[in-house]
Amino acid sequence: MSESEKNANARTLNPPNNADLAEIAGAASDEEEQSPVDAPESRLKFNLERLGLENKRLSDENEELKDVHELRKQYIPKLFWLTVAWLVAVVVIVWQVAAGQVAGRAYFYLPEKVLIALITSTTVNVIGIFVIAARWLFPHKK
């Protein structure tokens, strides 16, 4: 067994006396004096840097939200008029088919299955466009 191990065992078996405690306390205070403590200036500098970065991040997020808002304002009216034109075209087609059948002339004729498919697909497309637009306008936060 080495000398340092014997001393460690002796200290463990024998409780320290007041002189030993004073020596430990003195060593601890020496370490406190020697250890570099963060100066208030360095903490302040760190906090200023952190707050500056946070401010920049929030500013970038705000700019991004403004851009998305402008884009939405630009495209939603276009989407609305596309839907209106689409529905008007379907109504005109159905009206022409109905007018041709009433008059008894085959001016504009579509079979019944084609007419049902036209109306159904148009309804589904219009609902789909509005669902997509609504989700884009009002996104859910994650």
Q: What is the pTM of this model?
A: 0.52
Residue 109, in any domain of the structure: yes
Q: Is residue 36 part of a domain?
A: no
- 39 is a domain residue: no
Instruction: Say if 111 falls within a structural domain.
Output: yes
What are the pLDDT digits (tens) for 62-118? 999 999 889 888 888 888 888 888 889 888 888 888 887 766 666 778 888 998 998
No. of H helices and E strands in the chain?
Answer: 4, 0
Domain range enclosing 69: 65-137
Structure tokens at 58: 């929030």
| Residue 141: predicted pLDDT | 72
100-116 in b/e form (b: 16+ CB < 10 A) is eeeeeeeeeebeeeebe
Q: Which two tokens stand for residue 10?
A: 């002796």
Q: Tally the domains of the chain.
A: 1
- Is residue 23 domain-resident? no
Q: What is the pLDDT of residues 103-116, one digit of tens each?
A: 666 677 888 899 89
